A and B are shown apart, each in its own frame.
Chain A
Amino acid sequence: MAVITYRQALHDTLREEMLADEDVFLIGEEIGVFEGSYKITAGLLDEFGEKRVRDTPIAEEGFIGAAVGAAMQGLRPVAELMTINFSLIALDQIVNHAAKIYGMFGGQCSVPMVMRTPGGGGQQLGATHSQNIELYYAFVPGLKVVAPSTPADAKALLRASIADNDPVLFLENLALYNTKGEVPDTAEPAEIGKAAVTRPGSDITIIGYSRMATVAHQVAEKLQEEEGISAEVVDLRSLRPLDRETLVESVRRTNCAVIAEDDWLTYGIGAEIAASISDGAFDSLDAPVRRVAAAEVPLPYAKPLERAALPSAESLTTAVHETLDAVGRRR
């Protein structure tokens, strides 16, 4: 088992899937000659040529729509949207077309495509380049939205996404690209729609996804080490479909929960999680479900402001402390 970065896991998986299936091709801005803005596709143009690593004009609606049309013909395009912020330009093709074609035509034509895109703040990129708007896509029936937090999951979920016959928005995070982890050489595809209990615990459940799942993990380790608190961590992995069962079962065991998310609070993904817990585990709850999310502002450029706007290990730890205090479980 190799220890590699999240970036390397994505690169390796793309390469392996292209080698395995002639129908898999890459399409997007700067993925070829430039080797990808975040270098996920480095070397692939040289290896596979222009037919299968297709640099596009700066025209998100045009090339995402072309990928949808190619997928309707049974090809398996993996489109790279340079950041999730630019996906808004392709919104019509993603929401009105990719997500609807299977249902609108009575199941006659599927759209087996993947849209890889990084989101997230913390890089001092300002308001239009620092958004977590995966919710927009997780809201839409017909789309699938997955968000790996570790290199192993990046591989397992990307394999599953390419094999899937539906359009999948594959959410990456700029802060995760250089993180390292063990990746099995023969990683099996993950099951899309399945959350993972990445750390078992008994005192409290922390639910997160993408970057905040890794922060939740760090916080849980530290709480155990320093305070003897046993926190269970649930990594959603898939935002649509949403694995309500796993998170509800966890809360039924621990009786309280904190949700950690990089998006905005109001109407955010945490709101759906909290509602799911209310639906499925209300009688098990000893305290209100708390949410740690980004400040509801356009994300600022200035470093102290940006840092203050984003959820952190500190803010998550505080939320866990307050919840445990409320139930009298803090030692």
Chain B
Amino acid sequence: MAETATRNKPASGGTKSRRNGTRTSGKRVQHDAQNVFSDESPETLRDYFRQMTLIRRFEERAAQGYTQAKIGGYCHLNLGEEATVVGLMSALRRNDYLFTNYREHGYAIAKGIEPGRVMAELYGRTTGTSKGWGGSMHMFDVESGLLGGYGIVGGQVPLATGAALAIDYRGGDQVVMCQMGDGTTNIGAFHESLNIAALWNLPVVFVVVNNYLGMGTTVDKSSAESELYKRAVGYRMHGERVDGNDVVAVNEAACRLVEHARETGEPAMLETVSHRLKGHSVVDPGKYRSQESVEAARAADPVVAFRAQLIDSGVLDEDGAAEIERQAQADADAAVAFADDSPHPDVSTLFDYTYATPVANDSRRLPADPVF
């Protein structure tokens, strides 16, 4: 693949027509379904739908928890990006590593963390993924390979490169996936990290989730080259763009790049194109968006579209889909109940996580104050 650095092929079927809503046409969907589903077992497809629906229901409950003031801080949801999230995560082994930005609830669930622990982190409880220390933007779980959600745009990109360096150093066969938004591709750390990963041949797949909006600024107003996968060319890295609303296409592309990274150590970049259904965060009404953009996002809703595809192609019937939806709702509700029932951290633990190697003269022991 090293020789094909410029072979940046767009997703099969083309992303543009899909974004314009042609997927709602039954005939077109049928056509896509036959192509797209050829290699996937019905069980896998149903599992994708199950995961996407669970994330949808989870995020709806997260939004609700925020308006009830059960969740504080910022809260960035994956609504509209479920196909991307599930397609990407299904390409990783459990012991592969994932670094994400602050929009990571769905990734945490799809990487294998119990939804209850994810919700408990949003609620700031001790049972949360970061024991209540991180919140929405900072989830972490070694067991499932989530090496963190990061709240600073692009902060995770050098870290992911370093994790890949450690894999290479020790001769392991894991791959690192580094997720980010389209706005990230303009910061220095992005370019420094892609350069280093390519120079040192590190097994990291950089995934740019392009929803066309860095907060409220459109990609064409922030990126001189708005076809973001092309940025890989500058680092002699393979880059691809895929329809982020198509879970199977995302998964196929991600699997290809992940396995290539695993076998050769070469980094790659994948751009997934989809939409945010809501604002940048729960409190953002998204007034900067045009009516057309909002309608296009709704028309391309990946959960609705995938459901229709599965039914059209006979992978699911209405009852089967309804059962998956009922279970997803029950799981999301159970996550909320678990979070609600979990204890808040005890204030006596305030100083427990400043240092991994404790120090004798910590600042909590000011001479003037026996406590601090």
Residues of A within 8 A of B (CB): 25, 51, 56-57, 59, 61-75, 92-93, 96-97, 101-112, 141-142, 144, 164-166, 191-194, 238, 240-245, 248, 276, 279-281
Residues B159 and A110 in contact, CB atoms below 8 Å apart: no
Residues of B within 8 A of A (CB): 128, 130-134, 138, 140-142, 147-148, 150, 152, 155, 157-167, 169-170, 188-189, 192-193, 195-196, 199, 352-357, 359-363, 365-368
* C-alpha spacing A70/B167, complex, angstroms: 8
Q: Which of A61, A62, A72 has the most CB of B within 10 A?
A: A62
Residues B158 and A64 in contact, CB atoms below 8 Å apart: yes
Smallest CB separation, B138 vs chain A (Å): 5
Q: Given A70, A104, A106, which contacts B162 in the complex, CB threshold below 8 Å? A: A70
Residues B196 and A63 in contact, CB atoms below 8 Å apart: yes
Q: Given B132, B196, B359, B367, which contacts A279 in the complex, CB threshold below 8 Å? A: B367
Q: How many A-B residue pairs have CB under 8 A?
A: 179
Q: Given B140, B160, B361, B366, which contacts A108 in the complex, CB threshold below 8 Å? A: B140
Residues B366 and A65 in contact, CB atoms below 8 Å apart: no
Smallest CB separation, B175 vs chain A (Å): 13
Across-interface contacts of B362 in A (CB, < 8 A): 193, 241
* C-alpha spacing A96/B156, complex, angstroms: 11
Residues A105 and B363 in contact, CB atoms below 8 Å apart: no
* C-alpha spacing A67/B169, complex, angstroms: 12
Residues B361 and A65 in contact, CB atoms below 8 Å apart: no
* C-alpha spacing A164/B164, complex, angstroms: 22
Residues A67 and B195 in contact, CB atoms below 8 Å apart: no
Given A66-B161, A69-B162, the answer on whether A165 and B357 have CB atoms closer than 8 Å is yes
10 cross-chain pairs, A with B, having the tightest CB-CB distances, nearest first: A69-B162, A65-B158, A62-B192, A106-B131, A280-B367, A73-B166, A110-B356, A105-B140, A66-B162, A279-B368
* C-alpha spacing A196/B188, complex, angstroms: 41
Residues B159 and A248 in contact, CB atoms below 8 Å apart: no
Residues A97 and B196 in contact, CB atoms below 8 Å apart: no
Across-interface contacts of B159 in A (CB, < 8 A): 65-66, 68-69, 72, 93, 97
Across-interface contacts of A111 in B (CB, < 8 A): 356
Residues A69 and B131 in contact, CB atoms below 8 Å apart: no
Determine the residue in chain A with the shortest Cβ distance to B352: A107
Across-interface contacts of A25 in B (CB, < 8 A): 169
* C-alpha spacing A142/B353, complex, angstroms: 8
Supplied contacts A25-B169, A165-B357, 12 more A-B pairs, CB within 8 Å? A61-B189, A62-B188, A62-B195, A64-B158, A65-B189, A65-B192, A69-B160, A92-B152, A102-B354, A193-B360, A241-B362, A245-B361
Residues B196 and A66 in contact, CB atoms below 8 Å apart: yes
24 A–B contact pairs at CB < 8 A? Answer: A62-B196, A64-B158, A66-B162, A66-B165, A68-B162, A73-B167, A74-B166, A75-B166, A75-B169, A97-B152, A102-B354, A102-B356, A106-B353, A109-B142, A112-B356, A141-B354, A166-B355, A193-B360, A193-B362, A242-B363, A279-B367, A279-B368, A280-B366, A280-B367
Residues B355 and A142 in contact, CB atoms below 8 Å apart: yes
Smallest CB separation, A57 vs chain B (Å): 6
Across-interface contacts of B167 in A (CB, < 8 A): 73
